[in-house]
Structure 1
């Protein structure tokens, strides 16, 4: 892959690194394809139990590459739709992984980079982290690549509206306070902290973790407590015979 790196960091844990450091890991059409390919590799590799998603160099991801975006005016509507579809498929491939994904965010996570960080299960914010739905400042809809779905679930509709309508940045401490990030970590130990957390998850039975993730994701939108209880029960019973270890 040209825009990404996949590296084992400890048993059961892989680092998926956005690797265009000279462009602040800005997204391109090639990166969208490679993200989907990397997600499929991870999904099929039973030795991988947790993923650390990070960016090389000075930041996490600066969104779509502005140099590539200069071609948009001369690009057909059909071609732009294909590009947008490729982008959301890449993000959804990361979001739908059966294995937990921890985003280790330092520096800029803006535009599509912000959306990608939101697709992770857990976000650790380096002290330098800056989360920003910058689309509105580019004359585009603030609702892009899942932000209008992710943000209200994390911060509530009122604050989500503020962030999407203004495009203002959210720095590490505020990100933790409002629920975008789990906690702040010094930049110099961010990846170590993310690897350690992923390692603790990887110690558990893979099927138990996968079914926990499926239940958590599904029950965010469950219409009732009874629906959630039913889904949890089916997953739990499927594990009881072979997985119990007391």
Structure 2
């Protein structure tokens, strides 16, 4: 039986923090600002203390928002997105840049007769503790190891045949490719391995207009770009994830 929305939001695995150097920097900067505030107050220097305190508080709030999104918000958003797809349960699904399996293992719960394939380069700069072994542990904890395949590879040159998948997903991954040509290649590859009638969902914090344009150039239909709301703000609305979705013509 496929999972319910509640099942999708209930996690047994450990999925780490996205881009862990970012909250680390926020925490250090917030502590410095608050420290300057108290030092300035002690030495009767409000012109220094007040701005520093305000900056420290703002960074602390941004840090809290970032951690919430990375640990909770993105899971709720993806649970909603996946349920909206109304999957049959026998699909072949590919997750590009799957990391420790946050989205991959969630969609696997909806595939009692299908298969979920995750591909990643396993870089810890992209996600804390990102490793093939960590994702394997999570698939066991989530009870979906029998329907998940993990592969090491580059999303710009996918090791799959044309028209292999009914659904291609990517969450906060393609923007890690540093150049526009490489990002376009990743989108092209996603389209190549997608079956006619299949769908693509890409959630990201940068370059979503690029993805939208490239999908249009590749002849995709039902292309839509939309914000994902406060649950996927990484520190505030200035780093907000958006979703690009499309369908491959039959």
TM-score computed with the length of structure 2 as normaliser: 0.28
Find the structure with the greater CA-based Rg: 2
TM-score by length of 1: 0.28
